[in-house]
Chain A
Amino acid sequence: MDSLYKIIGVALITCIATLVVKPVRPDFAVFISIVGGIIILFMLAGYLTEIFDVFNQIFNFTNVNSSIYKIIFKIIGVGYLVEFTASLCADSGNSSLGDKVLLGGKIIILVMALPIVTSILEIVMELLPT
C-alpha cells in the first residue's frame, strides 16, 4: 500500500508543480511532467521484476519452448519502451513523431515474431501430402 501512496503523491506533486511553473515558464512544465512519469515508472520496476519471476516459474513449469519465452519477453519490453517514448513525444507536442516511434516499435515486434509465423507454416506444409 505504501507504494500506492507514493505513486499518488508523486502524481499530485507533479500536477501542482506544473500548474505553478506553467505561467512563469511553460516549457519547464513539460520537463516536470516527463520527470514525474519516469519516477512513477521507476517505482513500478520492482513489482515488474516480481511479476516476471512468476512468469519464469510458469514457463518452466509448463515446458514451453524457451525461445518462445525469450521472444515474448522482448516483445513486452519493446512495447513498454515504445509506448513510453510515444507519450513523451505527445506531451512535448510532437505527436506525429510519437506515431512514427510506434510504427517503428510495431515493425520491430513483427520482425521478432516472424520466426513463429514461419514455423507455423512449416508445420502445416509438413502435414500436407506432397
Chain B
Amino acid sequence: MEVEIIFKIAAIGILTAVVSQILKNSGKEDISTLATLAGVVIVLIMVINLIADLFDTIRTIFNF
C-alpha cells in the first residue's frame, strides 16, 4: 500500500504535464487546462482519502 501512492501521484503529475504540453502545442489550450484540473482533482481525492484514514486511526488510538 504504502509507497505505491507516492509513485502514482508522481506518475499522474508527469502524465498531466505531458498531456497538457501536447494539447497546448496542438492548439487546444482550454482542453489542456481541463486535463490539468482533472489530474489535480484525482490526486486531491487520493490525498483526502489518505488524510481521512489517518484521522480515523488517530481517533481510534486516542479513543475519542
Please determine whether B13 and A28 come into contact, CB atoms closer than 8 angstroms: yes
Residue of B nearest to A84 (CB): B54
Chain B count of residues within 8 A CB distance of the other chain: 29
Is chain B's binding surface mostly helix, strand, loop or mixed? helix
Interface string of B25-64 (1 = CB under 8 A from A): 0000000000000001001101100110111011101111
A42 neighbours in B (Cβ, 8 Å): 2, 53-54, 57
Please determine whether B13 and A25 come into contact, CB atoms closer than 8 angstroms: yes
A24 interface neighbour in B6, B13, B43, B54, Cβ under 8 Å: B13
A27-B40 CB under 8 A given contacts A10-B2, A45-B61: yes
In the assembled complex, A74 has its CB within 8 A of some CB on chain B: yes
> A20–B14 Cα gap in the complex (Å)?
9
> A21–B11 Cα gap in the complex (Å)?
9
B16 to chain A, nearest CB (A): 7
> A36–B59 Cα gap in the complex (Å)?
20
In the assembled complex, A49 has its CB within 8 A of some CB on chain B: yes
Using CB atoms and an 8 Å cutoff, list the residues of chain B in contact with chain A. Answer: 2-3, 5-7, 9-10, 12-14, 16-17, 40, 43-44, 46-47, 50-51, 53-55, 57-59, 61-64
Task: Apart from A17-B6, A76-B62, A81-B55, list 8 A-B contacts with CB within 8 A.
Answer: A17-B7, A17-B9, A21-B13, A24-B13, A28-B10, A32-B13, A77-B62, A81-B58
